[in-house]
Amino acid sequence: MTSHEAQDQISAAMEQLKALRDAIGAQLAKPGVDMASCDGETHRLSDLHDRLARAIQAYY
């Protein structure tokens, strides 16, 4: 593998992470989702969204 190929794979992975972050964010932003009194699953999704955002920010 060349450095160019590695960078291409990393870029593709980052795009997938951004798409996943955006999809989770859209789900959390739907009407009726109350983050103040969210259930366990919503809380876990929120945590995952935050972790994805931090990972993406750390890369860039």
Q: What is the pLDDT of residues 23-33, one digit of tens each?
A: 999 999 999 88
Q: Is 50's pLDDT higher than 90?
A: yes
Helix (H, G, I), strand (E, B) or coil at 32: coil
Residue type, 7: Q
32 phi/psi in degrees, rounded to 5: 95, -10
In this structure, what token pair is assigned to residue 12?
């593709």
- At residue 28, the pLDDT reads 94
- At residue 36, the pLDDT reads 77
Q: Is 49's pLDDT higher than 90?
A: yes
Q: What is the pLDDT of residues 5-46, one digit of tens each?
A: 999 999 999 999 999 999 999 999 999 888 777 788 999 999
